[in-house]
């Protein structure tokens, strides 16, 4: 066997090991109910802002604390605490991907992705609404 | 219905040219195919001629489509959806091109435009490989033309037509019941270009990136041509300048995107391992691997099979990245992929049309591709270059897997796997080792000779080793790399990568003199390596030593959530006019008075003063009002650039962002001394009433008529504040001075003096008391090394290209 082949095999073995460890790090997308079952485990919670509940954010007192209620597509809701600044356009977000874990019935969010009708993605429907509403 | 005022001609012409582009690309493909396959010389000539004419028509059509679409956008023909959706009247004309490629259709056209340029170049070059190369490019042109086709076959949409009218797009919208709908206000202006894209980087980054994507077809086409004509080894010299060009331009394009992200996005950096970024990095890594095996083959005859594989996969990964970013499969995992246009099947076909035949051809011909059975010497340059290429390739494969496993796996199985908890680290912890290996190989491989090296190189390698050791030791003592968040193991890996990168930098710089006698023209490779190594050093330093300056440690009576202590408290609240302690600086939010000419960007003036040297500078992070009919704002960072660091700031919250009116009203209370009044977050007590106060705050004379209410506010959290509103008489008129407790958002006014020692207080609670912003400030040390490295790397590719081209010609002449 050539030494190049040996090296290739070693590299491939390393690459596979690396990928297996990557698979171990993968997390899941969850609903409120399934996140509750995995209390304390890091998940991606897909939900919406419950607009009927107030968003608590008072940057003068603490710019790194906000609390709101998120509701998922099944209708379950959970309070969420986010230790960071309130993202721009938060109230207008249509969907939230909340990264964090459930602790004592409250979702502790480390990071969130907002799906807004603006930013990078253009939302045809939003534009269409513009067309009709003006 | 006959609509009034529509300009339909440009759109009809445009669509005609799209169809013509498709048909002519088909004809060009067939002609060039025939020209490649025929053995008869005169046949070949006539097929080639036909192919050239057809490609010429294709080129003319694409240029016309391009021009017509620009015309429609520049002249505000808002009956066209593309103009209506991507431009507006107040948009700065210099961003017209940015608007052009904001949409999928425009970016496909841009791509097609580059194929036109490349195709015309190869027709003009009259290489013997013209027919097979042009066949490949013409097939790509067919695929791209169908992407902007906009035809329905049954219910299936083929491509998306950029000349679609708004009324066709939203056929059921009620406004189109009117013949004069164009006079309606909502049709008078477009939705505008996304504000984040209104940036000069967005004018130049996409064309450069797409030129890189497009150019990656050249080595691919040469490889296919070699397999097709069974002329396996003669194209590599001729093609080397083009593969260098593709790799150089693609790298530049990617990093221009990184510069844009750094400047106008608030990721807090230039690279976030976002799926879209990864998808463009992967073809670059494979192309670079291919360039190296190509050089090995040209010098020694080894590695031809790998060269074929890398160039074929390099282009396939370009098409794959197109599929990933445009089909919408990335969905939740990326912030900036395109939306699903309903063209997934078409995109998948595009991918398969290139993947299946090219890999099949490769496998069928694999045995025939010449290779040298004798193995490379361990002391040879080609052996280590090959190892390096292999590492780059595997790194690309690992990134591809991490990048596309979840969306594809979830799509197929219906599972819901998601990215790891710390996405960036999941890439970093692997790629840091790639950086170490690549850095070391880049450092010493050039010192080795092709075929076999004696021990002489070791002597030459002493100087770079000593210098590297000196630099690393000094840097570790002076500054060090300060990144221990991921444990000691990762920190050691960062140090090793730093050593390897410095090694590569120093060794390549010295090699220009010790190995090449200072001949810069021949030193393209070394220059490229220096640039790459310098970028690596810049990345390692700026990312490891990035400092958050805006830790919120102010004394504005902040109430901290207990659990928040372990979290990154990176947002500092600045109250207008109050200098606030920010690490080495005092930061003052001065005003938010200036705007751009359109009034949609507000600049927040932040004065920064260094505590130790009283050095001053001003930052203008800004908020941009969103276009596209969206309310709200996008935050846009501002940086102060030093030669050795950047101070990078952006606004995370501003009081006027919500633009709500202050609707809170004053409430009246009649109180006696020692009475208590409750408010939402606590209560306050009137201690006493002081006549003609004379203190720090007020300077009343004994002859004045003034009363000050001395009040203590007790918040729920137990903090106490003093409020001292004043009631006074001046010129027979009663006036009062409101006192505000900012931290509690209450304002208290002493409005009247009543009978029986009672006074009237008015209390207002509002969260709009005072202008303030929450600011995030980072320091990126030595980020300029990264940008300088990229520039040097691109120049190195250029030098190599020129040199290899000359070399290729000389060899060709020598052979004759």
- Who has greater pLDDT, B95 or B226? B226
Mutate to test the interface with B, among A58, A62, A102 (most CBs of B within 10 A): A62
Q: Return the pLDDT at B248.
A: 97
Distances (CA, A) of B713 to B9, B93, B672: 72, 56, 16
Question: CA-to-CA distance for B34 and B46, rounded, in angstroms?
Answer: 10
Question: CA-to-CA distance for B642 and B784, rounded, in angstroms?
Answer: 9
Specify the residue for token string 């580059």. B114
Average pLDDT over residues B28-47: 95
Of the candidates B697, B729, B691, the one whose C-alpha atom is nearest the C-alpha of residue B709 is B691
Q: Return the pLDDT at A131.
A: 61
Chain A residue with minimal CA distance to B303? A4
Verify whether the Cβ–Cβ distance A128 to B173 is below 8 Å. Answer: yes
Q: Select from A29, A118, A134 the Cβ nearest to the Cβ of B416.
A: A29
Instruction: Output the six-digit token pair for B423.
Output: 């996405």
Question: CA-to-CA distance for B53 and B632, rounded, in angstroms?
Answer: 52
- Who has greater pLDDT, B232 or B775? B232
Q: Return the pLDDT at B486.
A: 85
Question: CA-to-CA distance for B708 and B344, rounded, in angstroms?
Answer: 73
Chain A residue with minimal CA distance to B744? A61
Q: Return the pLDDT at B334.
A: 58
- Given a contact cutoff of 8 angstroms between Cβ atoms, the answer to whether B55 and B28 are in contact is yes
* Cross-strand pairs, B602: B595, B623
Please give the angle made by the CA atoms of B781, B524 and B469, to the nearest 5 degrees: 45
Q: What is the DSSP code (8-state) at residue B645?
A: E
Task: Collect the ranges in chain A with pLDDT lower than 70.
Answer: 1, 60-61, 88, 115-134
Question: CA-to-CA distance for B91 and B256, rounded, in angstroms?
Answer: 23
Would you list the DSSP string of B561-591? PGGGGGS----EEEETT--EEETTEEEEEEE
Average pLDDT over residues B665-685: 85
Verify whether the Cβ–Cβ distance A18 to B561 is below 8 Å. Answer: no
Q: Please check the confidence at residue B96 and state whether its pLDDT lies above 60.
A: yes
Of the candidates B282, B382, B192, B684, the one whose C-alpha atom is nearest the C-alpha of residue A122 is B192
Q: What pTM does this model have? A: 0.85
Q: Return the pLDDT at A120.
A: 39
Lowest mean pLDDT segment, chosen from A38-47, B299-308, B350-359, B405-414: B405-414
Task: Read off the pLDDT of residues B530-568 as tens digits, 9 standing for 90 and up.
Answer: 999 999 999 999 999 988 888 765 534 333 344 443 334
Tell me the ipTM for this assembly: 0.79
3-state SS class at B721: strand
Identify all chain B residues contacting A96, using CB atoms and an 8 Å cutoff.
none
Q: Return the pLDDT at B158.
A: 86
Mutate to test the interface with B, among A92, A119, A133 (most CBs of B within 10 A): A119
- Given a contact cutoff of 8 angstroms between Cβ atoms, the answer to whether A18 and A60 are in contact is no
Verify whether the Cβ–Cβ distance B772 to A59 is below 8 Å. Answer: yes
Verify whether the Cβ–Cβ distance B390 to A2 is below 8 Å. Answer: no
Verify whether the Cβ–Cβ distance A83 to B430 is below 8 Å. Answer: no
Question: CA-to-CA distance for B458 and B289, rounded, in angstroms?
Answer: 26
Distances (CA, A) of B642 to B615, B647, B791: 13, 8, 18
Verify whether the Cβ–Cβ distance B170 to A128 is below 8 Å. Answer: yes
Specify the residue for token string 């500078």. B617
**In whole numbers, what is the pLDDT of chain B averaged over residues?**
87
Question: Which of 1.10.10.410, 2.40.50.140, 2.60.120.380, 1.20.910.10 is the CATH number of A28-118?
Answer: 2.40.50.140
Please give the angle made by the CA atoms of B601, B607 and B609, to the nearest 5 degrees: 155
Of the candidates B627, B342, B164, B3, the one whose C-alpha atom is nearest the C-alpha of residue A130 is B627
Question: CA-to-CA distance for B122 and B38, rounded, in angstroms?
Answer: 20
Verify whether the Cβ–Cβ distance B629 to A119 is below 8 Å. Answer: no
Q: Return the pLDDT at B564.
A: 40
Instruction: Output the six-digit token pair for B329.
Output: 């499969």
**H/E run at residue B791:** helix B783-815
Identify all chain A residues contacting B402, using CB atoms and an 8 Å cutoff.
19, 22
Q: Return the pLDDT at B177.
A: 83
Q: Select from A23, A113, A122 the Cβ nearest to the Cβ of B332.
A: A113
pLDDT band at B629 (very low <50, low <70, confident <90, very high): low
Instruction: Output the six-digit token pair for B794.
Output: 């691109």
Q: Report the length, in residues, of chain A.
A: 134
**H/E run at residue B320:** helix B304-326
- Given a contact cutoff of 8 angstroms between Cβ atoms, the answer to whether B560 and B762 are in contact is no
Distances (CA, A) of B561 to A105, B162, B724: 17, 52, 29
Chain A residue with minimal CA distance to B328? A121
Percent pLDDT > 90 in chain B is: 47
Distances (CA, A) of B25 to A55, B21, B29, B224, B676: 56, 6, 6, 19, 85
Question: CA-to-CA distance for B658 and B660, rounded, in angstroms?
Answer: 5
Question: CA-to-CA distance for B111 and B108, rounded, in angstroms?
Answer: 5
Identify all chain B residues contacting A28, using CB atoms and an 8 Å cutoff.
416-418
Verify whether the Cβ–Cβ distance B420 to A15 is below 8 Å. Answer: no
**Beta-strand pair B759-765/A66-71:** unpaired
Sign (positive or negative) of CA dihedral B392, B395, B397, B403: negative
Q: Please check the confidence at residue B338 and state whether its pLDDT lies above 60.
A: no
Specify the residue for token string 């003068």. A60
Average pLDDT over residues B651-664: 60
Q: Return the pLDDT at B26.
A: 97
How buried is B63 (Cβ within 10 angstroms: 0-12 exposed, 13-18 middle, 19+ buried)?
Answer: middle
- Who has greater pLDDT, B15 or A112? B15
Q: Could you tell me the end-to-end alpha-carbon distance of chain B, in angstroms, rounded to an integer?
A: 71
- Given a contact cutoff of 8 angstroms between Cβ atoms, the answer to whether B393 and B385 are in contact is no
Instruction: Output the six-digit token pair for B176.
Output: 């189109």
B144-158, B231-245, B599-613: range with highest mean pLDDT: B231-245
Q: Return the pLDDT at B335.
A: 54
pLDDT band at B278 (very low <50, low <70, confident <90, very high): very high
Q: What is the DSSP code (8-state) at residue B80?
A: B
B242-251, B263-272, B422-431, B738-747: range with highest mean pLDDT: B242-251
Verify whether the Cβ–Cβ distance A58 to B634 is below 8 Å. Answer: no
Strands, E, within B759-808: which ranges? 759-765, 772-781
pLDDT band at B331 (very low <50, low <70, confident <90, very high): low
Number of H helices, E strands in chain A: 3, 7
């Amino acid at each position: 066997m050539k030494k190049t082949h040996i090296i290739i095999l070693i590299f491939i073995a390393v690459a596979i090991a690396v990928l297996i460890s990557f698979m171990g790090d993968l997390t899941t997308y969850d609903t409120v109910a399934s996140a509750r079952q995995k209390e304390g485990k890091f998940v991606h919670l897909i939900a919406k802002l419950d607009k009927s509940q107030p968003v608590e954010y008072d940057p003068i007192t603490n710019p790194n604390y906000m609390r709101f209620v998120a509701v998922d597509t099944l209708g379950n809701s959970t309070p969420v605490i986010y230790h960071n600044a309130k993202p721009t356009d938060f109230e207008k977000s249509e969907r939230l991907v909340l990264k964090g874990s459930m602790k004592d019935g409250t979702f502790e969010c480390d990071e969130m992705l907002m799906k807004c009708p603006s930013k990078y993605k253009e939302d045809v429907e939003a534009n269409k609404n513009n067309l009709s509403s003006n | 219905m006959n609509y009034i005022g529509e300009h339909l001609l440009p759109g009809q012409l445009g669509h005609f040219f799209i169809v013509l582009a498709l048909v002519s690309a088909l004809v060009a493909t067939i002609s060039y195919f025939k020209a490649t396959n025929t053995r008869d010389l005169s046949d070949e000539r006539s097929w080639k001629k036909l192919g050239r004419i057809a490609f010429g028509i294709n080129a003319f059509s694409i240029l016309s489509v391009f021009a017509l679409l620009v015309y429609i956008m520049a002249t505000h023909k808002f009956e066209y959806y593309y103009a209506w959706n991507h431009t507006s009247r107040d948009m700065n004309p210099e961003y017209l091109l940015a608007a052009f490629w904001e949409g999928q259709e425009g970016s496909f056209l841009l791509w097609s435009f580059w194929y036109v340029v490349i195709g015309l170049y190869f027709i003009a070059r009259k290489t013997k490989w013209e027919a097979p190369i042009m066949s490949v490019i013409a097939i790509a042109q067919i695929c791209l033309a169908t992407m902007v086709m906009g035809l329905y076959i049954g219910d299936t949409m083929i491509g998306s037509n950029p000349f679609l009218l708004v009324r066709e797009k939203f056929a059921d919208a009620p406004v189109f019941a009117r013949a004069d709908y164009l006079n309606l206000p909502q049709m008078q202006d477009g939705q505008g270009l996304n504000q984040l894209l209104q940036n000069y980087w967005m004018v130049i980054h996409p064309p450069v990136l797409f030129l890189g994507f497009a150019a990656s077809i050249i080595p691919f086409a040469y490889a296919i041509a070699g397999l097709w004509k069974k002329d396996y080894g003669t194209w590599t010299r001729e093609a080397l300048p083009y593969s260098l060009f593709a790799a150089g331009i693609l790298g530049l394009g990617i990093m221009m995107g990184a510069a844009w992200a750094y400047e106008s996005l608030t990721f807090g950096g230039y690279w976030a391992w976002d799926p879209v970024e990864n998808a463009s990095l992967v073809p670059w890594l494979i192309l670079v691997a291919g360039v190296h095996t190509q050089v090995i083959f040209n010098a020694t005859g080894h590695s031809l099979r790998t060269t074929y594989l890398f160039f074929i996969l390099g282009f396939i990964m370009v098409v794959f990245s197109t599929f990933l970013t445009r089909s919408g499969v990335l969905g939740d995992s990326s912030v900036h992929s395109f939306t699903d246009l309903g063209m997934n099947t078409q995109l998948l076909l595009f991918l398969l049309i290139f993947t299946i035949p090219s890999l099949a051809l490769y496998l069928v011909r694999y045995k025939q591709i010449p290779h040298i059975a004798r193995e490379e010497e361990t002391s040879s340059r080609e052996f280590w270059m090959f190892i390096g290429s292999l590492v780059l390739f595997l790194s690309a494969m690992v990134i591809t897997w991490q990048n596309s496993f979840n969306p594809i796996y979830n799509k197929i199985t219906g599972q819901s796997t998601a990215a790891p908890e710390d996405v960036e680290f999941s890439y970093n912890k692997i790629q840091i080792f790639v950086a170490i290996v690549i850095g070391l190989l880049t450092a010493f491989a050039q010192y080795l000779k092709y075929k076999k090296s004696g021990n002489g190189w070791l002597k030459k390698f002493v100087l770079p080793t000593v210098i590297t050791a000196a630099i690393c030791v000094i840097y570790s003592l002076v500054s060090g790399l300060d990144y221990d968040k991921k444990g000691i193991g990762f920190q050691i890996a960062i140090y090793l990568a730093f050593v390897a990168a410095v090694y590569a930098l120093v060794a390549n710089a010295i090699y220009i003199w010790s190995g090449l006698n200072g001949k810069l023209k021949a030193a393209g490779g070394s220059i490229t390596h220096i640039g790459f190594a310098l970028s690596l050093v810049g990345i390692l330093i700026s990312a490891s030593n990035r400092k958050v300056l805006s830790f919120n440690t102010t004394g504005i009576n902040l109430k901290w959530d207990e659990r928040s202590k372990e979290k990154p408290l990176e947002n500092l609240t600045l109250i207008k006019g109050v200098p606030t302690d920010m690490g080495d600086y005092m930061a003052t939010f001065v005003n938010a008075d200036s705007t751009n000419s359109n009034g949609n960007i507000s600049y927040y003036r932040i004065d920064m003063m260094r505590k130790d040297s009283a050095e001053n500078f001003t930052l203008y992070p800004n908020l941009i009002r969103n276009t596209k009919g969206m309310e709200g704002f996008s935050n846009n960072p501002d940086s102060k650039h030093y030669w050795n660091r950047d101070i990078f700031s952006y606004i995370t919250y501003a009081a006027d962002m919500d633009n709500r009116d202050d609707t809170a009203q004053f409430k009246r209370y009649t109180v006696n001394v020692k009475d208590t009044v409750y408010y939402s977050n606590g209560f306050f007590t009137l201690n006493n009433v002081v006549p003609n106060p004379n203190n720090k705050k007020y300077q009343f004379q004994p002859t004045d008529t003034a009363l000050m209410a001395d009040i203590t506010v007790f918040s729920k959290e137990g903090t106490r504040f003093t409020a001292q509103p004043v009631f006074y008489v001046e010129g027979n008129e009663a006036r009062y001075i409101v006192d505000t407790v900012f931290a509690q958002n209450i304002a208290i006014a002493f409005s009247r003096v009543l009978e029986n020692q009672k006074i009237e207080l008015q209390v207002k609670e509002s969260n709009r008391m005072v202008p303030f912003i929450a600011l995030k400030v980072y320091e990126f040390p030595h980020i300029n090394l990264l940008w300088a490295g990229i520039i040097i790397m691109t120049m190195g590719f250029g030098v190599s290209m020129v040199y290899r081209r000359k070399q290729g010609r000389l060899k060709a002449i020598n052979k004759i």
